[in-house]
Amino acid sequence: MDNPLLNNTHSLPAFSAIKPGHIEPAIDSILADLRSSLEKILDQDSCATWSGLVEPLDSMHDRLSRAWSPVQHMNAVVNSDALREAYNACLPKLSAYWSELGQNQRLYQAFKSLAEGPEFSLLDTAQQRVIENALRDFKLSGVALPPEQQKRYREIAERLSKLTSEFEEHVLDSSNAWSKLITESSQLDGIPDTALAVAKQAAEQKDLSGWLLTLEFPCYIAVMTYASNRQLREELYRAFSTRASDQGPHDSRYDNTKIMEEILQLRHEQAQLLGFDNYADYSLQTKMAESPQHVLDFLNDLAERALPMAQKELAELTAFAKDHLGLSELKAWDVTYASEKLRTHLFDISQQQIKQYFPFDKVIAGLFAVVERLYGLSITQQDDVDTWHPDVQFFQIRDADNQLRGEFYLDLYARPKKRGGAWMDECVVRRRVADSIQTPVAYLTCNFTPPADGQPSLLTHDEVTTLFHEFGHGLHHMLTRIDYSAVSGINGVEWDAVELPSQFMENWCWEKQALALFSAHHQTGEPLPERLLQKMLKAKNFQSGMQLVRQLEFALFDMRLHAEYDPQQGARIEQILQQVRDQVSVIEVPDFNRFQHSFSHIFAGGYAAGYYSYKWAEVLSSDAFSLFEETGIFNPETGQHFLQSILEKGGSQKALDLFVSFRGREPDIEALLRHSGITADTRAA
Ligand SMILES: [Zn+2]
C-alpha cells in the first residue's frame, strides 16, 4: 500500500491523499524504525559525536514530525470521527515513545560524553545549546536519579497525568451539567440576536421550546455583557464561578478540591526528587526568569503601578452604574455588564462600522506590505499546492536576495469540524540536510467569518490584531537561519519569551501609517478615517488597569502557590488566593466564588508556575517596539536589526542575550506601562 505519510520526507504533505486508515500503520512503522535506529546509533563505539549522535537523531525525529504534523493538523481543522479515532489511537504510542527516550540511560550517557568530550568546544554556540538543552531535559525527566527514586518519579508522572486530565474533565462535565431554559423572551432583554439564535438552537436540539442558556463561554459572556436582567446575570455568574467545586448547583462528584491538593503535593515532591526547592524552581528551568523571587518582584512592581489606575477605573464604573444604570451597589455580576455600557457611553464605537474598513483581501495584502517594508521580504501566492480544504491558500516568502526563506498555509475561515481560536503551528522545521537546507513551512489558522451573500469577509479590528499576532509567530518559525531543528525557529526558545515576536507584530495594528496599508472601505476604497482611528485609540486602554490587575492576580496566585508549598501545611490554596486578592484585586469577589477550581491553565495545562509569561513577554515586545517608535515604525535598518537579532536566531541563544543584542540594553518596563496607559504617552503625535 502506498502510504503518503511514509514518503513525504522531501516534499510538502499530500493532504488530499491522507486517509484515516494510513495513520496508525504509518506511525507504528516509523516508531519501530526509530527504536531500531536508536539501538544502532547507541551500539556504535564512538556514538558520542555530533555527526554520530545528534544528526541521525534529528533526521529520525524529523521523519516522525513530518508524518505526524499533517495528521495532528487535519485532526484540528477537518476533524471527522474516523480521523479522531486514528489520531487518538496514536497518542499513547507517541507519548510512550517520548517518555522512553527521556528515560533512556544510554542515550543520556552519550549526550553527557559529548558535552564533556573534546569535540564540544569545537562546536558552534547553537550546537552547544542543542546539547545543553538535551541534558537539561534529560535531567528534568528524572533519568539521572538512582533507580529507586526514578521509579517514584515515574509513579508521580503517571499519577499527575491522570489527575490533570480528571481536573479538566470535571470542569467540562460540571459546565455541561448546568443549563437553564428560558421561555419568556423578556427575560433575555439586551442579549444580541446572534447569541439568542444559538440558545434557541440549543433548546431545539433537546426538543424544548424557548432558549437554553449554558455555561459554554460564548453564551456565558453574552449574558454577563448584555443581559439587563440582573438576577439572570447573578445566576449564571454563580453557576460559572463555582464549576467543579464544593459550592453552587453542580454535582459534588465533579469537585476538584482534593485533586488540586494532590496535584500540588505531587508537583512539589517531584521537584524535590530532582533537587529543586519547589515546583516553581523546577518550572523556571526552561524559562527566562531566574527565580520565583525574580518573577514575584516583577509582578509586585507591576501591581503597585497598576493598582491606582485600576482603583480609579473602578470608581468611575461604580459612579456610572449608580447614575446611569440604577445599580446602587456594584456586584461581581454587574462589572462586565456595566463596563460594556460605559464603553459605549464614552467612545460610541461600533464594531460594525469599523469592520467596513477591513475587508479580508486588503488586510492580507497590507500585512504582507508591512513585513515587506520592515524586512525586505516578498510574499507570493502559489496556486497548485495540495491542501486539506478549498479555503486554504499557500504562500512563499522570499528575502531581498530572492532566496526562499519559508512557506505557509493560510486557513482563515470558520467552518464546522474546525477547532476554534487562532494559532500557528509547524509543518516543516528548518534544518540542514546533507549540503542543502530544509525550508520551514508553517500553518496559520484563524476562525474569521467567511464571505457570504456576495459580501467579502470583513474583519473586526480584534481579528486583524489576531492575524498579525499569529503571523508574528509564523515569521519567528519561518525566518530562522539556524540549521539545527532543536533550536531553529520557536524551538528551544524559553517559554516566557515565545510571545515576543507575536505580540510585537500587534503594535502595527495601532499605527496610522501602517493602517493606511491594510484598511480600505470595502465599497468606497477609502482608508480608515482619522476620526474613527482616534476613537479606537482612545478606547484601546479602556479599563486596562482593571484588566492588568486581574492578570496579575492569576499570575501571583499561580507563582506563590507553587513556590510556597509546605508539606506540613499543605497547599493553602484559598489562603494564598485571599492574600493575593487583598493585595491586587479591586473588585470584591463573593465568598462562594471558586474560580481556582476551574483554573485549567495551571492545574491541567502547561502554565503551572508560568502564567506570568504573558506579561513577561509583553515587557519584551513593548520594549522592542519602542525602538521602532524612536527610529520610525518602518525604519528598514531597525527592521533588519530585529530580523537578524531575534527572528533569525530562534532558540540558539538565551532570549535575554538576543534581546540585549537588539535593544542594546536589558528589557525596560517603561514601554509596557506607556502602551497600557499606566504612564502618560509623551511622544510627539
Ligand atoms: Zn501567541
Mean pLDDT over each residue of the chain, to the nearest integer: 94
Alpha helices in 499-568 (DSSP H): 500-506, 512-518, 530-540, 544-563
Q: How far, in Å, is the centroid of ligand 1 from the Cα of 311?
A: 29
Quickly state the pLDDT bin for 620 (edges 50, 70, 90).
very high
Q: Is 670 a catalytic residue?
A: no
Quickly state the pLDDT bin for 10 (edges 50, 70, 90).
confident
* Residue environment code for 293-323, b if the CB has 16+ CB neighbours within 10 A, otherwise e: eebbebbeebbebbbebbeebbeebbebbee
- pLDDT (average), residues 589-613: 94
Q: How far, in Å, is the centroid of ligand 1 from the Cα of 501?
A: 9
The amino acid that residue 511 corresponds to is: E
- Looking at the predicted structure, is the pLDDT value of residue 685 above 50? no
Sign of the Cα pseudo-torsion (190, 194, 195, 199, in order): positive
User: How far is Cα 224 from Cα 236, in angstroms, rounded to an integer?
Assistant: 8
Catalytic-labelled residue, pool 166, 426, 463, 470: 470
Q: How far, in Å, is the centroid of ligand 1 from the Cα of 498?
A: 8
- Looking at the predicted structure, is the pLDDT value of residue 283 above 60? yes
Quickly state the pLDDT bin for 8 (edges 50, 70, 90).
low
pLDDT digits (tens, 9 = 90+) for 90-110: 998 998 899 899 989 999 999
Contact indicator for 358, 516 with CB cutoff of 8 Å = no
Helix (H, G, I), strand (E, B) or coil at 269: helix
- pLDDT (average), residues 527-535: 91
Q: Which residue has the cell 517514584?
A: 152
Q: How far, in Å, is the centroid of ligand 1 from the Cα of 472?
A: 8
Give the pLDDT confidence score for residue 1 in this predicted structure. 56
pLDDT digits (tens, 9 = 90+) for 221-266: 999 999 999 999 999 999 999 999 999 777 788 999 999 999 999 9
- Looking at the predicted structure, is the pLDDT value of residue 606 above 90? no
Q: Which residue has the cell 520551514?
A: 440
Quickly state the pLDDT bin for 144 (edges 50, 70, 90).
confident
Q: Can you give the pTM of this predicted structure?
A: 0.91
Q: How far, in Å, is the centroid of ligand 1 from the Cα of 424?
A: 8
Other residues' Cβ atoms within 10 Å of the Cβ of residue 59: 14
- The number of CA neighbours under 13 Å toward the Cβ of 21 is 4
Q: H or E segment at 290?
A: none
pLDDT digits (tens, 9 = 90+) for 390-412: 999 999 999 999 999 999 999 99
Q: Name the range with the highest mean pLDDT among 151-155, 447-451, 619-623.
A: 619-623
> Quick one: what percent of the chain has pLDDT higher than 90?
85
Q: How far, in Å, is the centroid of ligand 1 from the Cα of 685?
A: 29
- pLDDT (average), residues 650-655: 97
